[in-house]
């Protein structure tokens, strides 16, 4: 629980610093940075674990590849200014979890 709360604080700080540095202020809500930290920790600990998409059972991938894809998507979102998700918080959480 301490790791989860710490990840939430760190990912929120990363998000705030990124918003301050870029001047792009938009609201963010939730604990997705902390969830990303836990996911990154599990994917780093067991990178060969098989994961899948619940509605597409025939599609499987390794946890390591899933983490790489999520980090790539969030990096693209941060660089391209996508505002649907707080990509900086996700990346901060992933960095904390690794």
User: Is residue 28 within 8 Å of 82, Cβ to Cβ?
Assistant: no
Q: DSSP letter for 77, please.
A: H
Q: Which residue in the list 11, 15, 28, 32 is annotated as catalytic?
A: 32
d(CA 11, CA 63): 21
Residues ≥6 apart with Cβ < 8 Å to 42: 49, 63
Q: Is there a catalytic annotation at residue 87?
A: no
Question: Each residue of 44-89: pLDDT tens digit?
Answer: 999 999 999 999 989 999 999 999 999 999 999 999 988 889 999 9
What are the backbone angles phi and psi of residue 57, rounded to the nearest 5°? Answer: -65, -20
DSSP string, 28-60: --SSHHHHHHHHHHHHHHSTT-EEEETTEEEEE
Q: What is the average pLDDT value for the chain, to the nearest integer?
A: 94
Q: Is the pLDDT of residue 24 over 90?
A: no
What predicted TM-score, i.e. pTM, was given to this entire model? 0.89
Q: Where are the chain's structural domains?
A: 2-97
């Amino acid at each position: 629980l301490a790791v989860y709360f710490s990840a939430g604080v760190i990912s929120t700080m990363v998000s705030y610093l990124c918003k301050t540095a870029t001047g792009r202020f938009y609201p963010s809500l939730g604990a997705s940075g902390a969830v990303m930290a836990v996911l990154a920790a599990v994917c780093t600990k067991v990178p060969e674990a098989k994961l899948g998409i619940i509605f597409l059972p025939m599609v499987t991938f390794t946890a390591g590849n899933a983490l790489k894809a999520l980090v790539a998507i969030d990096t693209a979102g941060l660089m391209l200014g996508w505002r649907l998700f707080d990509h900086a918080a996700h990346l901060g959480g992933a960095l904390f979890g690794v």
